[in-house]
């Protein structure tokens, strides 16, 4: 398995999980949160395929492709460890879908971060809301759903509140 193989599996799994989660939450009206903008490819995919719901982006430093840069009023700048608790005061438990791709190359570090951020994500979701993540998350009262067709085990995770 090469780095190219792994990367393709991750991208394909992200898309399969996002497409499933977007369709599954289609009846919900609450906002969508993209945690980690990066190059903006998954944000672009979400913005194109999600209708009637605001897609907010949480990012430390915006450095995305010009055509995948969110509007200022939909950008929540800062470290998610601070902006997620602030967003709970602002939005309450209303998010219909949260996608997180915050990790880097270091798997152990990603896992430590996933444990720290999980309790900040869970309270933001509305009952029935979904969370899609590239890392395994640690939630108290959410169930892990089976992956949709096309997604590769271990490359993506879906949780339901």
Per CB under 8 A, the segment of 64-72, 78-86, 90-98, 113-121 that binds a copy of itself is 64-72
Rounded to the nearest angstrom, the gap between the alpha carbon of residue 76 and the centroid of all alpha carbons in its chain is: 14
Which x/- pattern over 34-73 shows residues binding ligand SAM (rule: CB under 6 A)?
A: --xxxxxxx---------------xxxx------------
Label residues 24-42 b or e (16+ Cβ within 10 Å = b). bbeebebbbbbbbbbebbb
Chosen from a copy of itself, Ni ion, ligand SAM, none, partner binding at 59 (C-beta under 5 to 8 Å by type): ligand SAM
Q: Judge contact between 34 and 42, C-beta under 8 A.
A: yes
Per CB under 8 A, the segment of 62-70, 74-82, 106-114, 133-141 that binds a copy of itself is 62-70
- For the record, the structure tokens of 28 come out as 């919900």
Q: Mind giving me the DSSP string for 56-111?
A: EEEESS----GGG---GGGEEES-HHHHHHHHHHHH-S-EEEEEE----S-HHHHH
Chosen from a copy of itself, ligand SAM, Ni ion, none, partner binding at 15 (C-beta under 5 to 8 Å by type): a copy of itself
* 105 is a site residue for Ni ion (CB under 5 A): yes
Q: Least separation, in Å, of the C-beta of 84 and Ni ion? A: 26
* Site for ligand SAM, rule CB under 6 A: 36-42, 58-61, 79-81, 101-102
């Amino acid at each position: 398995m090469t780095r190219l193989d792994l990367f393709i599996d991750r991208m394909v799994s992200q898309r399969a999980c996002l497409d499933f989660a977007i369709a599954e939450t289609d009846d919900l009206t609450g906002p969508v949160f993209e945690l980690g903008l990066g190059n903006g490819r998954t944000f672009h995919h979400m913005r194109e395929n999600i209708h009637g719901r605001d897609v907010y982006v949480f990012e430390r430093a915006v450095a995305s492709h010009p055509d995948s840069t969110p509007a200022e009023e939909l950008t929540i700048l800062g470290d998610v460890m601070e902006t997620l608790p602030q967003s709970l005061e602002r939005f309450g438990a209303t998010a219909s879908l949260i996608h997180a791709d915050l990790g880097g190359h270091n798997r152990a570090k990603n896992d430590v971060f996933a444990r720290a951020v999980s309790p900040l994500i869970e309270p933001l979701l509305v009952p029935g809301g979904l969370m899609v993540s590239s890392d395994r998350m640690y939630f108290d009262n959410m169930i892990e759903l089976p992956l949709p067709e096309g997604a590769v085990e271990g490359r993506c995770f879906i949780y339901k509140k």
